Amino acid sequence: GGLGGWGDGPVRVVRPGVPGGALRTRLSGHIQARLPGSAGGVAAALATGDQGGIGLADAEAMRRAGLAHLLSVSGLHITAVVGATMVIVLRLLALIPWLARAVRLPLVAAAAAAAAAIGYTALTGAEVPTVRSCIAALLVLMALAIGREAVTLRLVAAGAVSVLILWPEALAGPSFQLSFAAVGAIVALHESPQVRRWFARRDEAGAWGGGRHLARQLAALLLTGIVVEAVLAPIALFHFHKAGLYGALANIIAIPMTTFVIMPLEALALVGDVVGAGVPFWWLAGVALEGLLTLARVTAAAPGAVAVIPAMPGGAFALIVGGMLWAGLWRTRQRWLGLAPIAAGALWTVAAPFPDLLVTGDGRHVAIRTPDGAVAMLRDRSGDYTQAMLAENGGVDGLPVLLAEQDFARCSADLCVAERVSGARRWRILATRSAYRLDAAALIAACATADIVVSDRRLPRRCRPRWLKFDAALLAKTGGVAISLRTGAVTTVQRAHDDHPWRRLPMVASTVADERRLRRAPDRTQSARRADQS
């Protein structure tokens, strides 16, 4: 479903676009002309932030494999650009003896790296995550320039405060939370005395010294990946209802490959194109990119690759985040006390019931859980976004099925009646699914036999189901709704405390009976008796 249209007339520029857009478009087109398919799309995303050339299946595989962060220009990419610029500038300037004696080359290299970071941020569109990473990189370079320890939790806090001063609304967004949670976890882990001792540089004498050193470095990379994935998983589950479980293992290969192979080869290929010598570098970059995509596909297809849950309770999320902050900020054994709220939040999340009925805020789209755990859509036609959102909120990894095709439902062009068994009773759900006029007497009679009635229209006052009636009037006040039949829990998007001076809730009249039904849990014994009588 959806709307379409066309226009005919002169185009008028209302406001100039972001500077550099034409350059990004040309560069993205040039890269995708050299590397067709999803490999070229990933290469363009690394250089310009444009992800439009990545196939839908490959983009989903990257998300399920926990590698989607590679496609969004952020800390990893800024770090690679800054590090490469510093090394190249430092090595080149060191070839000039008199200059090496006259100036502090690290300061010059840091200044060049800062300029490269700012330029790369502008080239990729200066999106908020990229700007955030650029600010953090500039703070690191500033710390290096004044002789301070570059990577500390204080620096992470300074970067977070700087971003919140510019974009205070970013605090509630997943991008800010994921970025600083990942960086904070890495810094806190490697500031731990035990980790520092274990992975500190040491004299690796003997025939197996090099092997032990390599094994320790790989162990450090694996431990870092596991900790980062463990920290990011609750945030991803809270915002997106799903998280990749094998991301730590996949990132052990993907991050070094992207940082030390793909991005340098792509840079060499672009430079080589200036003199007509970029073909071999493009071929090598294409091979590496296909390897990255193969890794994503294999990881995403592995059994149990993705954990999916319905909406995480806000209190559980607060407990987990509070526990992680406690564990990350303390340096003594007191940090282990943070495991208690983390465990409590995790248990609360696992114990949260899966919703049996999901209703969008406009009442047009309804999803009902099927006996096999899937969700079934009320309307035969609905957009991919709506289907994906209802499936995710229902804790389902996959697209919904059609309610009209289910054995427990009977549907006409205008109405659907579904009967679901939950616990010791049978629930009857009635939902309208067209905008055509309905016979009032027949609708009122159908309401009387239903436990729950859902409609995107205003229903007559005499439509009185046994428990809940969500029509246009009530949904305008509640927003989207999730209902658990087993527990009788009704969760709404809009709550009473959401009424703020800057965000007024709609003043829509609704019947007193509707409000009373929404607040009151169902009387299971009475409802069961009425259902049996009907």
The 10s digit of each residue's pLDDT in 358-374 is 999 989 999 999 998 89
282-294 burial, b at 16+ Cβ within 10 Å, e below that, comes to: bebbbebbebbbe
* Mean of pLDDT values over 475-481: 89
Residues 399 and 493 in one domain: yes
Clarify whether residues 463 and 330 are in a common domain: no
pLDDT at 514: 45
- Nearest C-alpha neighbor of 348 from the set 373, 312, 323: 312
Do 144 and 158 belong to one domain? yes
**How would residue 18 be classed by pLDDT, with cut points 50, 70 and 90?**
low
Does residue 378 contact residue 416 with C-beta atoms inside 8 Å? yes
Last residue of a domain, one of 294, 326, 351: 351
Give the CA count within 13 Å in the CB-facing half-sphere of 347.
Answer: 6
Same domain, 447 and 465: yes
* Cβ–Cβ under 8 Å, residues 466 and 460: no
Encode pLDDT of 77-103 as tens digits.
Answer: 888 899 889 999 999 999 998 888 888
Does 415 have pLDDT greater than 70? yes
From 114, 139, 171, give the residue that closes a domain: 171
Q: What is the domain count for the chain?
A: 3
3-state secondary structure of 48: helix
Q: Give the structural domain span for 122.
A: 74-171
- DSSP code of residue 173: S
Pair (512, 366) in one structural domain: yes
Three-state SS letters, 436-504 = CCCCHHHHHHHHHCCCEEECCCCCCCCCCCCCEEECHHHHHHHCCEEECCCCCCEEECCCHHHCECCEC
As given in the structure block, the two tokens for residue 166 are: 């510019």
Select from 134, 132, 150, 126 the least CA-distant residue to 24.
126
Work out the average pLDDT over 175-181. 86
Whether 528 shows a pLDDT value over 60: the answer reads no
Give the Cα separation of 144 and 136 in Å (integer). Answer: 13
SS (H, E, C) 419-430: EEEECCEEEEEE
| Strands 242-244 and 306-308, bridge-based pairing | antiparallel
Q: Which of 7-16, 158-167, 380-389, 403-412 has the lowest mean pLDDT?
A: 7-16
Q: Is residue 528 part of a domain?
A: yes
Of these ranges, 98-112, 335-349, 478-492, the one predicted with the greatest mean pLDDT is 335-349
C-alpha span between 527 and 416 (Å, rounded) = 20
Asked if residue 489 is part of any domain, the answer here is yes
Residue 459: what residue type?
L
Amino acid 447: pLDDT: 94
Q: Would residue 418 count as lying in a domain? A: yes
**408 and 511, same structural domain?**
yes
Contact assessment for residue 41 and residue 54, using Cβ atoms and an 8 Å cutoff: yes
Higher pLDDT, 298 or 532: 298
Tokens of 90: 């430092």
Instruction: Evaluate whether 480 touches 361 at the Cβ level (below 8 Å).
Output: yes
Residue written as tokens 């690796």?
204
49-77 pLDDT tens trace: 888 899 989 998 998 888 888 888 777 78
The residue behind tokens 């071929």 is: 283
Dist. CA 486–CA 422, nearest whole Å: 6
Q: Would residue 111 count as lying in a domain?
A: yes
Q: What phi, psi does 420 have (nearest 5°)?
A: -125, 135
pLDDT of residue 501: 66
Range from 125-129, 251-255, 326-330, 510-514 that averages highest in pLDDT = 326-330
Q: Is pLDDT at 431 greater than 60 in this prediction?
A: yes
Q: Which of 132, 155, 171 is the last residue of a domain?
A: 171
303 token code pair:
């059994």
At residue 507, the pLDDT reads 46
Is 433 found in the same domain as 318? no
More confident residue, 134 or 528: 134
The stretch 350-364 carries a mean pLDDT of 90
Domain-embedded: residue 57: no
Q: Could you tell me if 389 and 331 lie in one domain? A: no
* pLDDT number for residue 269: 94
Cα separation of 264 and 262, whole Å?
6
- Assess if residue 256 is contained within a domain: no
CB of 75 closer than 8 Å to CB of 61: no
Shared domain check, 410 and 506: yes
The partner residues of 481 in beta bridges, in order of sequence, read: 359, 492
280, 350 in Cβ contact below 8 A?
A: no
pLDDT number for residue 532:
35
Instruction: Say yes or no to pLDDT of 228 above 80.
Output: yes
Question: For the sheet containing 452-454, what is the strand order?
Answer: 409-411, 415-422, 425-432, 452-454, 468-470
452-454 vs 357-359, strand pairing mode: unpaired
> Cβ–Cβ contacts within 10 Å for residue 85, how many?
21
Tell me the average pLDDT across 102-128: 88
For residue 511, pLDDT beyond 50 = no
pTM, 2 dp: 0.75
Judgement on whether residues 473 and 515 belong to the same structural domain of the protein: yes
Question: Does residue 81 lie within any of the structural domains?
Answer: yes
Name the amino acid, one letter, at 195.
Answer: V
pLDDT of residue 524 exceeding 50:
no
Confidence of residue 504 (pLDDT cuts 50, 70, 90): low
Task: State whether 363 and 344 are in the same domain.
Answer: no
Q: Write a three-state SS string for 129-171.
A: HHHHHHHHHHHHHHHHHCCCCCCCHHHHHHHHHHHHHHCHHHH
Is residue 62 in some structural domain?
no
User: What backbone phi and psi angles, to 5 degrees, belong to 333?
Assistant: -65, -15
Residue 125 predicted with pLDDT over 90: no
Length in residues, the chain: 534
> Phi/psi at 341 (nearest 5 deg)?
-65, -30
In a shared domain, residues 331 and 405: no
CA gap 63, 65 in Å, rounded: 5
Question: Is 394 in contact with 355 (CB distance < 8 Å)?
Answer: yes
Tell me which residue of 461, 410, 400, 455 sits closest to 433, measured CA to CA.
455
Q: Has residue 40 got a pLDDT over 80?
A: yes
**What is the DSSP track for 345-393?**
HHHHHHHSPPPSEEE-TTSS-EEEE-TTS-EEESSS---HHHHHHHHHH
Residue 82 neighbours by CB distance under 10 Å: 24
Confidence class of residue 209 from pLDDT cuts 50, 70 and 90? low
With the C-alpha atoms ordered 58, 63, 67, 72, is the resulting torsion angle positive or negative?
A: positive
